[in-house]
Amino acid sequence: MIDREGGRSAAVYADFDQADLDREYSPSSCVPDLGRLLDDYAVAGARARATLRARLDLRYGTGPRQLLDFFPAAAVDAPLQVFVHGGYWQQLDKRDGSFPALDLVPAGVAFAAVGYGLAPEHRLDEIVASVRQSLWWLLEHAAELGFDPTRVHLAGSSAGAQLVAMALCADAMPDGRPPATVFAGATLLSGVYDLEPIRLSYVNEALGLDSAAAARNSPLRLLPDRLPPLIVARGGNETSEFARQHDAMVRAARDRGGEVQDLVVAHRNHFDLPFDLGDPGTALGRAVLARLGSAGAEDEQRPV
C-alpha cells in the first residue's frame, strides 16, 4: 500500500487501501473477458426459454421487475431449484439466470429464475424483501405449478448468494415456520456475506449502505441456529476477499451445527462457476443433483 509519493496509503478496511479494497471486490479483475461470460449467460438463457417448456414473467409482486420465469419438470411433484442471479444488486436480471434450466429440467428438476428490482432505484432492504416475497409466492403456487413444496432448494451466485442467505436468516416465513423447515437446501456460489467491506468499496456508490444497513444485510451476523443443508462453493480463481468470505460462511454455518459441503472448484472463476450448477459432469453439479434427489438422468421432456 505505497502511494504515488512513496508514502504509505491509508488503510480503509483490514490492511487494504481504497484501490486494493476496490480490486478485491471487483471479481472481474480475475477474468480476461467479462463481456464474453455475460454474453454466455444471455445466450444460454435465451436457449432455455426457447427450447424448454416455460411459464415466463410470472408476477409475484407489483414492482416492474418482480417477475420470475418457471420451467416445469416433466413429472408433477418434482423438486424445485430456485436461482437468484448476481450482478452486485445493480445489474443483470432473471433472463441471465435461466441457463441452469438446460441441465436441471432434463434431470427431472423444476426450475425458477427470480427477478428483482435493482439499485440504485431500490435499496438493499427492499431487494432482500423482494426475494423473500418471490420464494413465498412460489410456495403458495406449488400445486398450480406442479412441484413438491417440501423439496424446494435455493441457489444464488455472488449478490444472489447473499440474497439466498438472507432468505434463510428471516425470523419466520409468513405462515410462522422457520426457513430451515421450509427449504430443503441451499447452494451459495461466490457470495458476499459480510457487507461492511462492500460498504467501504466502490460497489456502495449504487447501494448507498450506511453501517447499520450493511450490518442488517450481512448474513454472517444473522445466521439462525438452524439451517437447511448447504453447499457453499467458489471458484479457485477468485480474489482473496471472496475466498475469505467463503471460508467465513462455511465456519459460521458449521458452528451452528449445519450440514455444509465446502467446494472450491480450482478451474472455475466467479462468473463461470454457475454453469456447473446442474451439470452432472462437474463436482458442483453432482453435489447439487444429489441434494435434489436426481441422478442427472434425462427424463422424457424434449425441447419444444
Reported as a single tens digit per residue, the pLDDT across 143-168 is 999 999 999 999 999 999 999 999 99
Measured CA to CA in angstroms, residue 19 lies from 9, 12, 201, 236, 244 at distances of: 10, 9, 9, 22, 18
pLDDT at 222 over 60: yes
For 132, the grid coordinates are 423473500
Q: Biggest alpha carbon distance in the chain?
A: 67
Predicted model pTM: 0.94
At the topology level, CATH places domain 21-292 in Rossmann fold (3.40.50)
Q: What is the pLDDT of residues 17-30, one digit of tens each?
A: 999 999 999 999 99
57: number of Cβ within 10 Å: 11
Residue 72 CB burial class (10 angstroms; 0-12, 13-18, ≥19): buried
- For the chain, what are the domain ranges? 21-292
Q: What is the pLDDT of residues 30-57, one digit of tens each?
A: 998 889 999 999 999 999 999 999 999 9
SS3 content of the chain, % helix, strand, coil (to 5): 40, 20, 40
Average pLDDT over residues 95-109: 97
